Amino acid sequence: MRRLPVLAIITVFLAKSALAADPYSPPKTFDEIIGSFHKSHFQHKPAIRVTTARVLFADYDLIRRDFEVTRTMSELEMDAWLIDSAACISRDQIEVGTTRGVNSAIEHDPKELRSSLRPPNYGRAIVIEVPGGILDAKGAGGVAQAISQNSHRNGLLETAEAIREFSYSKLVQKALYHAGSDFRAIDSYAVIDFGFLMKSSVDETMQPAGLLLRQSHFRDITRSEQLEQTNALKIERSLREFGITTAYKKTSLESDRSLIYDVLNVQGSDEGHFLYDFGGYRISDHFTNQAITLSDLFQKKIIPVFKDPISATPRVAPKYAPLFQAWGGEGSEERIWKRAREIAAQFKLDGDSDETRRAVNALLETTNVIPSEPPRGPGTCVESLKRP
């Protein structure tokens, strides 16, 4: 299908978001992912290529930057490279997903195997070996014992969820850069639609299943994925300047069930200085609830981390209101979620990649309310995220 000029707009936007910050160099081999840990902690099994998969959209400039082998490819050639190299799913998902009612039949080629690695705690993601490096693939199928209709980690990812998280990775990257942070987001390369349906964990409807391709990264399996409190609070406070939050709302575990807390869910690595997993991030136009960290919640320690939620939490400036207007909302009524589902449904219906790219570009254009450069001079309202 012929590429329309609008794709140039997407390419320029994504190139700026990918290259404005200090370049992140992803691991290139499985050995770098494993690091000094014993290989027995990691599952090394082949993944199987899904024959009905198609690329919805991709950050071609980021891919070219990280994978030298793609630098002379056209966008159509890169789409074919992504499908051939990484449009894969676990054998367990193929074998038990349909019988357990998790997904419709998965068309695949059992002879088309790709080398993959599943690190610890990767419930629905794997790392796939591709020419010139490795890709982190979220939604690539689970392991048999965890594949269930009632599990958030049923092995799969809605295409809409992949669109949403792709968009948030770009938004958070831009916000961190403008905040003058030395933290960075693990960026997203592409969203692939698998061509089969999955039972949504949100509303139990059958929805298109997809794959989010991300930069590969090392995770220290001896540590919690939650950032230590000091850095988590700095990141949360600064992101809230733009109306972005890592938090979800939860009723107190104490006797007063009317009290609502914002539970901060900042996942990443202090040592590697990167953030990942943006599925829980959201946009709000105000913050009034007290905040606690997710690690404290696990330990049932309801200890507020913002002493005064109204004055300690920055109010969202009116100039960032378009983010909430375009992306905000609660639960299933969240606007970016609803729009992502519409985009995924339309792509399944007509397969029009140009129209899909126009729709995603419209979502990303909203992030232009955040300047592309870091603040300069005294008096900035954005707190530095430098490590303590």
- pLDDT per position as a tens digit, 316-336: 888 999 999 999 998 889 999
Does residue 328 form part of some domain? no
Does residue 329 form part of some domain? no
Q: What is the DSSP string of 224-235?
A: -SBPPHHHHHHH
Q: Are residues 92 and 12 in the same domain?
A: yes
Q: Are residues 292 and 152 in the same domain?
A: no
pLDDT, tens digit, 9 for 90 and up, residues 255-307: 666 778 888 899 998 777 899 999 999 999 888 888 877 777 776 666 667 66
Q: What is the pLDDT of residue 386?
A: 31
> What is the pTM assigned to this prediction?
0.89
Contacts by residues 106-110 (CB-CB < 8 Å, ≥ 24 positions apart): 106/50, 106/194, 106/196, 107/50, 107/51, 107/52, 107/195, 107/196, 108/48, 108/49, 108/50, 108/51, 109/48, 109/49, 109/51, 110/48
Mean pLDDT in each 10-residue stretch from start to end of the chain (388 residues)? Answer: 46 46 81 90 94 97 96 97 97 95 96 94 92 96 86 88 97 93 92 96 92 93 81 88 89 68 86 88 88 73 63 73 93 94 95 91 94 62 32
Q: Are residues 248 and 176 in the same domain?
A: no
pLDDT, tens digit, 9 for 90 and up, residues 137-172: 999 999 988 888 777 778 999 999 999 999 999 999
Q: Are residues 247 and 134 in the same domain?
A: no
Listed in order, strand segments (DSSP E) in 86-187 are 88-89, 108-118, 125-130, 133-138, 157-158, 184-185
Does residue 386 form part of some domain? no
Pairing between β-strand 43-50 and β-strand 88-89 as defined by DSSP bridges: antiparallel
> What are 250's strand-pairing partners?
261
| Contact present, 167 and 179 (Cβ < 8 Å) | no
Total domains present in the chain = 2
Q: Are residues 189 and 93 in the same domain?
A: yes
Q: Which of 300, 322, 344 is the last residue of a domain?
A: 322
**Domain containing residue 61:** 6-222+335-369
Tokens 């998969």 correspond to what residue?
53
Does residue 214 form part of some domain? yes
Q: Are residues 255 and 317 in the same domain?
A: yes
Q: Are residues 77 and 154 in the same domain?
A: yes
Q: Are residues 110 and 211 in the same domain?
A: yes
Cα–Cα–Cα angle for 40, 46, 52, rounded to 5 degrees: 145
